Amino acid sequence: MAMKLHYGTGSCSLLVHMVLEELGEPFESVKVDLAAGEQRGEAYRAINAKGKVPALVTAEGTLTECVAIVEWLLDRRGDNALLARPGTWARAKTMEQVATLATEVHPLFNRFFHEGDFSDDATVQAAVKIHGARKISDWFAQQDAALAGAWWSGEREPVLSDLYFAVIARWGRWLDPPATRLPKIEAFLNRLATRPAISRALAREGITLFS
């Protein structure tokens, strides 16, 4: 049975799409229409009761949460370029970056995209959005200034955290200035997009790293 990825276009599930393509794993993908609220419907909640993407349906069961899914996919393949073996320093440094993206930067975007989740008061919502945008913009400006080599991770070849960074930087195209147009981040995204697996994942979703 081929695995089945339930994804939302351009959302955090794009990371899973990228990893599946990088691994050359046979899989099917099923689009969940997030804008239409399909994730909250009964049919999708039967797959993921949390009403969120991604969900990966496998022969062993259904797995949710981006980080858990990609770690499982990569570890079951043993040695691979995107994620070093458990217990190695390289693994710890990649996971350090993954944790920053998952637990700090992604939640900041919730303030920017979903300000209504933070208050019923429209004035507070506007303040949450502006404040969130400022914090994310500052973070991307720091990342752009610090980006020294070809990849955000600082590794010689792209690793898992580079893929995740690209997914999240793409959301930053709505900021002013767009994170995708900061010079070193833009060059990084262009470089990553030339990888055949990454361009296949983007094509499946009908998007680019800039739109």
Ligand X SMILES: N[C@@H](CCC(=O)N[C@@H](CS)C(=O)NCC(=O)O)C(=O)O
Nearer to ligand X, 12 or 133 (CB): 12
Alpha helices in 117-182 (DSSP H): 122-146, 160-171
Q: How far apart are CA 204 and CA 7, in angstroms?
A: 11
- Does residue 161 contact residue 151 with C-beta atoms inside 8 Å? no
Nearer to ligand X, 92 or 113 (CB): 113
- How many residues in the shown chain lie near ligand X by CB under 6 A? 12
Cross-strand pairs, 64: 55
Restricting to residues 52-71, which ones interact with ligand X according to CB under 6 A? Answer: 52-54, 65-66
Nearer to ligand X, 53 or 198 (CB): 53
Of 46-54, 123-131, 153-161, 178-186, which part binds ligand X (CB under 6 A)?
46-54
Residue 98 near ligand X by CB under 6 A: no
Q: How far apart are CA 151 and CA 185, in angstroms?
A: 9
Q: How far apart are CA 91 and CA 83, in angstroms?
A: 6
Of 48-56, 82-90, 127-135, 178-186, which part binds ligand X (CB under 6 A)?
48-56
Helices (H) and strands (E) in the chain, counts: 9, 4
Task: Using CB under 6 A, list all residues that contact ligand X.
Answer: 8, 11-12, 34, 39, 51-54, 65-66, 102
